[in-house]
Structure 1
């Protein structure tokens, strides 16, 4: 994507959307938000990947509540938000093209029939159609800020199911990082005495699970502070809960940014 002009709200297509693009006035954004698993949409030509609607609409097909939470944070932080607009089962934009989990053949106990037996050419076609536009959009937003001597904090927003393979998950909010833990350390320190929510480092997933691709792709090469936030989806099940969590997270993000000298 060309960076010769400011990126605008119209910079979107069927697979990725930029919300709240910087309008060219006032202070530049201190955060860039990314929501890779924002949608459950599966293009009609993929015939639902052979799945029932109930499966697609569950945590298997997308991160329930993540986009709503990300949009609330977008407003509270006045930050741009890049959101994937197709299901992660079509292509998981938090995975590189070479990763088998980019087009998973199985998710938890569910067989993803439409992803099974994909040829290398078919996988490459999916990556070209779904990953490349997303990657280009996020890269353009980040590079546009760097061009203006801004060092935004990269924040990716996810949710996770409270029961996985039949086992209850007791972690409530995961603060994830890859090799750069500076910003995560600040959030974890600030939240260690939180009376309402339980925060844990690199839970329920971590770098060993291959979930930090976006952090490695868009933050680490530029030395940008970053964090991946995982919220158990029963904590953001309605608009009131989403607002409560968004307010809390925004406060921690801003406070951590101040400690890092970024806000």
Structure 2
């Protein structure tokens, strides 16, 4: 979770989102498919006061270079629903796929990342701390902003209500965190939610037992390519650091899918 000064750079573009009405032909694979699930948090120019969160912040020009590199390399940007289909049926809509995920629901996803994503017609998912949205916290996305972005191919999934360490949270509280967050998102956004991103990547067996009653996919902070072999509720992700170059990113997301 990132605490940062409020920034607002309203640079929206009206390009249509790519793959919004996908005509992809899904191919079945013999070996378990691998999917790079990228993990971002914030996209903005880091303020000197944010040094403690430095590894969570990617500069806008670096982010744009990464998106452009993936587009130029022919990557297909997955939605949560497509990712579940890929893992559950062992199929892919293209040889090169990637799922862009952001944690925490920071406002710079709307003001900075979203215009870049629209420019390159790329899709992405932001995992929302719903309690922060409900309280109207400064620096977090609003329901209005999320609704606008959904119309352009973005999606919003759960990052719990209050961002607790689930690994040391009692069962009743965990249940509330997992169910109340999905209820809020589905009610306010009129959309289906199938994914939980565990706060700080921390969870336990109780978390997994509760999650499987409500969610189809669970995102960890464990480093690596994601595979159904890891369990659909404990998927790896590829962490994107401030120092990750576009070239370095492409090397991180190369899979063995054949």
Classify the TM-score, shorter chain: 0.3 to 0.5
Normalized against structure 1, the TM-score is what? 0.33
Normalized against structure 2, the TM-score is what? 0.34
